Amino acid sequence: MKQFDIPLLYKSSFISRIKNSRKINDPKKKDFTPALLDFGPIKFYIARHFGFCYGVENAIDISNRIINENPGKNIFLLSEMIHNPGVNNDLLSRGVQFLMDTSGKRIYNWDRLTKDDIVIIPAFGTTLEIESELKNKGLDPYKFNTTCPFVEKVWNRSTQLGNQAYTIIIHGQYNHEETRATFSHSAKIAPSLIIRDFNEAESLCSFILDESKEKEFYQFFKDKLSPGFDFSNDLKRMGVVNQTTMLASETDSIAELLKKTLSIKYGVAEIQDHLADTKDTLCYATNDNQESTYGLSNVNADFAVVVGGYNSSNTTHIVELLDQKFRTYFISSADKILSPNTISHFDINSKKEIRTNGFIHEIEPIHIILTSGASCPDAVVDLVLRKIISFFPRVKDMDLVLKEFE
């Protein structure tokens, strides 16, 4: 596995040792049970996999080298590098400017860009239209490119599907940067359609089985279809790819539902001609994090804390999974833990930050699940753990806990 140069401010002497110990004892990643850290009055269940994935480390490594090697130059990021406020604020503090926000709205005057400027493509990738616009300004969109290799893998598979006359079904959030990029690439070579979740997949299947609903189909998937999408012909052969941060299990379920639907319409014996096998496009890191979250759901805990950017898709899915069983607090940093009694956390339903009182009860020992999204530095998780520990005067020394674990 490639080694990346990650700034020290993102690393943690405590959390990183826990993760490294798990890697040594389980190099093939077969054990998804959480690590138990016993501090006496408080016990933490730490997920088997969490924090920076390959794509995030790759993007940070490349970005830092670009900044270090180009002093005095105007350096721009197309949009947020990753969905983590700490990482993005660090880049801003070093003089990097953002050209767009996460929705694609331009926050910098592109007419001021020159061929001598540096524009970094973020880990999510970008659209062909933006690539073309940068080229027209004399900027090479591939020279400073941090697109995740697993996102590019999805694009390559989409090209293969298109060349084999398959329609590309993209499981993703329509306004997410990665999905916009994937849709742009796939729509160039094949009919393409975006579905948000399993419910939208069910609606798609109802349209496939009832051809009289053509008008409703175009209304339902308005703005989620490639130009010229043909209801009569483009739903006969399909392949499912995904936004790499979506739930892998949901992508699998969507593909299985389409398989059943197309089997009904065309016969089981003909299914291979109508649905491509695209399981190889699922991101291993997202899958590992999600399997680790399922591992956490098997423990008995008082509540869960998930750390990450509020606009992070993969972190939100972790929150959704844990919230099915535990009181789950989604926070962006240790600063959100205001006191032993009060926590400020993001509610994924209302899309607002709210405050909850009495989140840590007084009966000891207290069992807490702790994990993070793929774009969250270990150092931030470490600070959250230390902040909670600081509320308990009789906890074990952290070095002793490490020795007992290792």
Active site residues: 178
Which residues, including other chains, have CB under 8 Å from residue 181's CB and lie 6 or more apart? 124, 125, 126, 127, 147, 151, 155
Nearest-angstrom CA–CA distance, 11 and 24: 18
Q: Between the CA of residue 269 and those of 205, 259, 265, what are the distances in Å?
A: 19, 12, 11
Identify the bridge partners of residue 238 per DSSP, sorted by sequence position: 167, 275
Nearest-angstrom CA–CA distance, 10 and 241: 32
Whether residue 329 contacts residue 347, with contact meaning beta carbons closer than 8 Å, is answered with no
Q: What is the DSSP letter of 266?
A: H
Nearest-angstrom CA–CA distance, 285 and 7: 21
Sign for the CA dihedral angle at 115, 119, 125, 126 comes to negative
Q: What is the DSSP letter of 166?
A: P
- Phi, psi (deg, nearest 5) at residue 281: -90, -10
Decide the pairing of beta strands 238-242 and 303-307: unpaired
